[in-house]
Amino acid sequence: MVESSSGPSEAPPVVHQAVDPSPRENLLGLPRSQLASKLESLVDRPYRARQIYEALYARGISGFDEMTDLPAELRRRLVEAFRIEPPAEVRGTESADGTRKVLLRLADGATVEAVDIPDRSRRTLCLSSQAGCALACAFCVTGFWGAGRNLTAGEIVGQVLALRRGETPPFEGLNLVFMGMGEPLHNLPALRDAIEILAERISWRRITVSTAGVVPGIVELATWPKRPNLAISLHAPDDERRSRLMPINRTHPLDELLAALADYPLERGRRLTVEYLMIRDFNDALGDAEALSRRLRGLVAKVNLIPINADPVLGERMVPPDDATVTAFQNRLRDLGWIATVRRRRGDDVSGACGQLRSPDKQPRGFRRSNLSF
């Protein structure tokens, strides 16, 4: 079992922003109005900005020379002032189940991983929002490598373009989940710009943002006129165990988190997703299912059970329950009136499953001893 620890609540992490090494601004990640403003002094007619925007996101072009519907002189001026630079693929690794994990290098040399998950006629892209993560959750390999900077909106949208390179239109038929590296709600400005671009071609109902429970971010997200699906990593029905898994719980404990979720506006037919990681002999008893049900009472939510994906850096005790235990837990929740699903394991043989993404360009820091020990 994970051992207990104590300590004061932690302040929100200080996260560095991207430092662009190029004097030419990257046009990727600028919503329509911002792009039009940037191009105002260069274009001779307003519709030119629309042409450039469509070339970026409807056609997925990778260079100004591909914008053959623009005058040659305008293309030359664009090359002098701007660039189009999605993340560069360093390595792609394909799982036996068809899942593809991709290591991407950003303009300043930082790296992130993203995952392309095929599922019959659909594809789901698991995207990163930070180049690392400061939250140090005990079950997540990303945190073992430590904090990294926020991604820009262009680097977020650029992951989709990089994974879909050569496919036109690049955003068709996709589901997007922000469940990769980093805490999305610690990077809300860039996330909002990226989703504004992506949601022009992908329904808001097919975009999901997952949070470890950053209450101020949930409150801010609730004010958006349109909102993606919201998933919350809960993982334990009580503060004592949740704090051992997730240090953020000492800053935003369950009562505060659940109050914010109760106030979160949901459109007709939509539910919150409560993600519950299952760890053998830690939070997998039928009594835990009953305690979880009591905690969630009053929420419009479904529960997604996630047997933990083991990894050498997590230690030998962080292993999933057997299938019978998972099924019994799921059935108990259903008996109590909840929609309860079990997340299929995808890409775990290439370390591309939930909680396994890394920052291989950084030295591992390990997990904070003040949070847990094995």
Contacts of 189 (CB under 8 A, 6+ apart): none
What is the Cα 146 distance to its own chain's centre?
A: 16
- Among 85, 113, 196, 275, the active-site one is 113
The tokens describing 25, both together, are 């601004």
Cis peptide bond N-terminal to 71, omega within 30: no
DSSP β-ladder status, 122-126 and 111-119: antiparallel
Could you identify the residue written with the tokens 């059935």?
331
Name the one residue in this structure whose structure tokens are 């300043």.
Answer: 108
E-strand spans in 88-202? 88-94, 100-105, 111-119, 122-126, 174-178
Q: Which of 126, 133, 137, 354 is catalytic?
A: 354
Angstrom CA distances, 189 to 1, 25, 220, 227, 237, stand at 38, 18, 11, 14, 31
Q: Which two tokens stand for residue 118?
A: 């095929």
Three-state DSSP at 128 gives: coil
**Known active-site residue 113:** yes
Reduced to 3 states, what is the DSSP secondary structure of residue 339?
A: coil
Angstrom distance (rounded) from CA 164 to CA 331: 38
Q: How many CA atoms lie within 13 A of 134 on its CB side?
A: 18
Degrees (nearest 5) of the Cα angle 229, 148, 12? 70
Q: Are 221 and 209 in contact (CB under 8 A)?
A: yes
Residue 240 backbone dihedrals phi, psi, to 5 degrees: -60, -50
Tokens, residue 288: 């835990």
3-state secondary structure 169-191: CCCCCEEEEECCCCCHHHCHHHH
Residue 6, CA distances (Å) to 9, 20, 195, 253 in order? 9, 40, 38, 14
133 is catalytic: no
Q: Which residues are catalytic?
A: 113, 354
